Structure 1
Amino acid sequence: MKYSGKKQEKSFASGMNFYKLVWIFVFFSIYGYVFETTANLIEYGYFYNRQGLIYGPFSQVYGMGAIFLILCAEKLKMKKFVHLFLLCFLVGTIFEYVASFLQESVFGATSWDYKAMPFNINGRVNLLFSLAWGLGGAVALKWLYPVTNRLIESFPYKKGIILTWLIFSFLCYDIFISAAAVKRQQERLMAIAPTNSFEMYLDKKYPDSYLEKIYPGMVFKK
């Protein structure tokens, strides 16, 4: 191999650092959104919005789930498909249960209910979807993540760092405003009047009619 004379630029996201984790969250949140939207389109025959945040095609459950699974797989040095399947089956099930529990505890709402399905636990998880977590997660870790990882590490060093901080700042705002808007929606359903200018802003900017389009599957507990 001939030496080109050019020094290869160091990747801003080499290894498993903060920058890499941010982009894992971004890419897999988008993958999750595309997967769920497509699955619902096939099942129901029409578009059914499955985004988890107000702004952008993000499903943060998939983003966070991917981070946990990738970190666990690398920590345990798992490469065989069957081992990845078992890991994703277990971690995916626990993560989905915890996500459902936290959503109901904090916001008094649920975005999925599996009580009508066999082998479910409190309607939060069920065997069929846990198997899907196992199979889908193993496929993602075995083939999708390596491709995504190469794409992330191909970003130019300086531009990659700047872009990471921009998308991270945007996501922090998106997560905050989404959580605040949903919490305020819960309070409106409980007939709680706004107590400050921020809550008045939320009522005006993100009314129930708007949020119902963003989260059509979300049901508040009475």
Structure 2
Amino acid sequence: MSKIGDFISDVYSDKAAMYIAPLSAYKLIWIFLIGCFLGYIIETIYCYPKTGYQSRQAVLYGPFVPVYGFGGVLLTLALYKLQNTNVFILFIISAIMGAAFEYLYSLLQELLLGAVNWDYSNAPFNIQGRTSLLYGVYWGVLGILWIKLIYPFLSQMIERMPITIRSTFAFLIMVFMIANLILSALAIKRGGDRLQNLPPEGDLDRFLDSHYNDEHLARVFPYIKYIR
């Protein structure tokens, strides 16, 4: 345990080095993956008192929630050069940006897949059920924690990896997550088609019906709500 503590202490001992470590494509890919995983943990803990344990993953394979991964990348890009800005300003930027992103993500998911992952229609000060004042506050707090504490630590951890390992794994992560996202989107959309009793139109639809039937989707995505 002392070695772990010493390592963390070393990482935080030179914050200037963390802040000036340049952004790069491979680092953003790592941030996306880590954000997806942290999102799964946050969602599981947050929802447990209300629903007990149930799958909170938002893709077919792995404990990942992509909205947090994309959110982590977005917060990093927007706040990267603002680490020393007043926390109130960071809060406002993060809250507005996070709420807008959450709204857009939900809208695109509905337009493309005919489904949504969340519905805040019963929350006060919500915008078409896609985001709300409360979740804007959550994004604001998360933005401060992210750019002040979480990102500097992750950045330094990533920088300490041998360059061959971090770049190779970044490429593999990117390929895996792109395939995971595409397959998940296709399976969810086909699930909506089945609800409308639409027959399979080709080999892809038959593959999805065979491998990702309604029972499978209900087990992996118990919270998804189909709109049409």
| TM surpasses 0.5 | yes
2:24 to 17, 38, 55: 17
Q: Which residue of 1 aligns with 2:89?
A: 83
Structure 2 distance, partners of 1:73, 1:63, is 15
Deviation for aligned residue 1:90 = 0.6
Deviation at 1:186, TM superposition (A): 1.2
Q: Shift of residue 76 of structure 1?
A: 5.2
CA distance in 1, matches of 2:84, 2:194: 47
1:186 aligns with 2:192: yes
Pairing of 1:137-176 with structure 2 (within 5 A): 137-176=143-182
Aligned to 2:17: none
State whether residues 83 and 147 of structure 2, in contact with CA within 8 Å, keep that contact through their aligned partners in structure 1.
Answer: no
- CA deviations on 1:20-55 (whole Å, 9 max, x unpaired) are 1100100111111100111111333x1022111110
Assess if the C-alpha contact under 8 Å between 1:51 and 1:57 holds in 2: yes
Give the 5 Å matches for 1:1-222: 15-44=22-51, 46-75=52-81, 79-222=85-228
Q: Which has the larger share of helix?
A: 2
String of CA shifts for 1:87-140, please: whole Å, max 9, x gaps. Answer: 110101000100111111111112211111111111111111111111122112
* Residues 111-170 of structure 1: per-residue CA shift (max 9 Å, x gap): 211111111111111111111111122112211111111111111111222111111111
SS in structure 2 of the partner of residue 182 of structure 1: helix
More displaced 10-residue stretch of structure 1: 78-87 or 200-209? 78-87
Count of equivalent residues? 208
Structure 1 distance, partners of 2:213, 2:202, is 16
The whole-number CA distance in structure 1 between the counterparts of 2:81 and 2:114 is 35
RMSD: 1.4
Unmatched runs of 5 consecutive residues or more in structure 1 = 1-13
Length-normalised TM-score, structure 1: 0.89
Which residue identity does 2:68 align to in structure 1?
Answer: Y
Q: Percent identity?
A: 35
Runs of 4+ in 1 over 4 A off after TM superposition: 75-78
Question: Tell me, which stretches of 5 or more residues in structure 2 are unaligned?
Answer: 1-20
Specify the code of the residue in structure 2 equivalent to 1:169. Answer: V
Task: Verify the 8 A CA contact 2:191 2:213 in the aligned structure 1.
Answer: yes
DSSP-derived class of the 1:96 partner:
helix
Q: Quick one: distance in 1 between partners of 2:38 and 2:137?
A: 18
**Offset of 1:206 from its aligned partner?**
0.4
Q: SS of the residue aligned with 2:204?
A: helix
Q: TM-score, normalised by structure 2?
A: 0.87
Cα offset for 1:177? 0.6
Measure, in 1, the Cα distance between the counterparts of 2:223 and 2:112. 17
SS where residue 187 of structure 2 aligns?
helix
